[in-house]
């Protein structure tokens, strides 16, 4: 294992950042590939005489950083990992990189359902890396959750992430189109969550290349107006939710009012648009009757 002094590593970090990129991405590279977490680094700063041990040498880390900067390859895919809430998740180009703004979905659930004691029955439609479902299964150990996706490769990653994050067995993974894997659970769900593909076609064509060239199209594109999947999810939700069951959706920055209207037309009540931390109406929630 290559050994390096704290001073050398801090100098190396400074050089890499001077070439471009952001601090958070470099921290991920050092942690996921180099094997040095930011807390290791902070501790070593205090005991600055101590050496650090890298899993890979600095030349190798530098070559990844170069690929990230030159080709706009998301650092998460190059490292095969991402941080999301308190989870460290495997990500490949088969799954969307879970976004920081989506972390708030879990807090919305915490606001609705008291933690720990709840024997929730929840489903997440379009789980991708599994981030949301895993966070909920861990926070509600007495719950039972089903995480679905149309992509079997994504489900395999989600299932690996669940196994490495939890010793529990309260989450299961099913493959299929939106509600179809849940046929045998009609009228039983306390909660359904989805962050579906919601980018309108025209916007999708203009996405930055680090998104469009690398992340799965199936995870992003929501048809002509972006609402194709949201419509399907809302229309069928009443069949699967319990009376008073909740539906929580993530949507594009300007879709809140339209999603609200769709929920209203499908007999939802307590409908609310919830802002993300930047004040954008990122989530729309409602209760079935």
Ligand X SMILES: C[S@@+](CC[C@H](N)C(=O)[O-])C[C@H]1O[C@@H](n2cnc3c(N)ncnc32)[C@H](O)[C@@H]1O
Residues that bind ligand X (CB under 6 A): 96, 98, 102, 125-129, 131-132, 148-151, 154, 177-178, 195-197, 218-219
Residue 104 burial (C-beta neighbours within 10 Å; 0-12, 13-18, 19+): middle
Tell me how far, at minimum, the Cβ of 161 lies from ligand X, in Å.
11
CB distance 37 to 28 below 8 Å: no
Least distance to ligand X, CB of residue 74, Å: 13
**Could you tell me if 248 and 283 are in contact, meaning their C-beta atoms sit under 8 angstroms apart?**
yes
Angle at 132 between CA 127 and CA 136, to 5 degrees: 125
Shortest Cβ distance from residue 196 to ligand X (Å)? 6
Taking the complex as a whole, the smallest distance from the CB of residue 223 to ligand X amounts, in Å, to: 11
Beta strand segments in the chain, E: 3-5, 51-53, 81-84, 87-90, 121-125, 144-149, 171-175, 189-194, 241-250, 268-274, 283-288
CA distances from 229 to 52, 161, 222 (A): 48, 25, 6
25/161 with CB nearer ligand X: 161
Closer CB to ligand X, residue 98 or residue 256?
A: 98
Least distance in angstroms from the C-beta of 64 to ligand X: 23
């Amino acid at each position: 294992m290559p050994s390096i002094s704290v001073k050398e590593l801090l100098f190396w970090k400074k050089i890499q950042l001077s070439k471009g990129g952001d601090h958070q991405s470099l921290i991920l590279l050092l942690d996921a590939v180099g094997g040095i977490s930011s807390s290791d680094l902070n501790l070593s700063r205090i005991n600055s005489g101590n050496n650090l041990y890298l899993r890979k040498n600095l030349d190798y880390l530098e070559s990844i950083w170069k690929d990230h900067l030159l080709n706009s390859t998301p650092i998460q895919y190059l490292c095969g990992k991402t941080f999301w809430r308190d989870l460290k998740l495997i990500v490949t180009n088969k799954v969307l990189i879970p976004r920081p703004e989506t972390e708030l979905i879990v807090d919305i659930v915490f606001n609705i359902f008291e933690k720990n004691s709840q024997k929730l029955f929840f489903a997440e439609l379009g789980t991708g890396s599994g981030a949301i479902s895993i966070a909920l299964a861990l926070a509600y150990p007495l719950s039972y959750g089903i995480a679905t996706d149309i992509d079997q490769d994504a489900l395999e990653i989600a299932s690996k992430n669940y196994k490495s994050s939890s010793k529990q067995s309260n989450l299961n993974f099913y493959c299929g189109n939106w509600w179809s894997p849940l046929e045998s659970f009609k009228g039983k769900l306390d909660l359904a969550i989805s962050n579906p593909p919601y980018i309108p076609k025209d916007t999708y064509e203009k996405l930055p290349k680090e998104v469009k060239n690398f992340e799965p199209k199936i995870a992003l594109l929501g048809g002509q107006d972006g609402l194709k999947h949201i419509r399907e999810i809302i229309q069928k939700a009443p069949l699967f939710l319990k009376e008073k069951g909740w539906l929580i959706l993530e949507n594009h920055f300007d879709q809140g009012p339209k999603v609200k209207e769709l929920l209203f037309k499908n007999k939802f009540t307590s409908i609310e648009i919830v802002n993300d931390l930047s004040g954008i109406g990122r989530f729309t929630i409602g209760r079935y009757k």
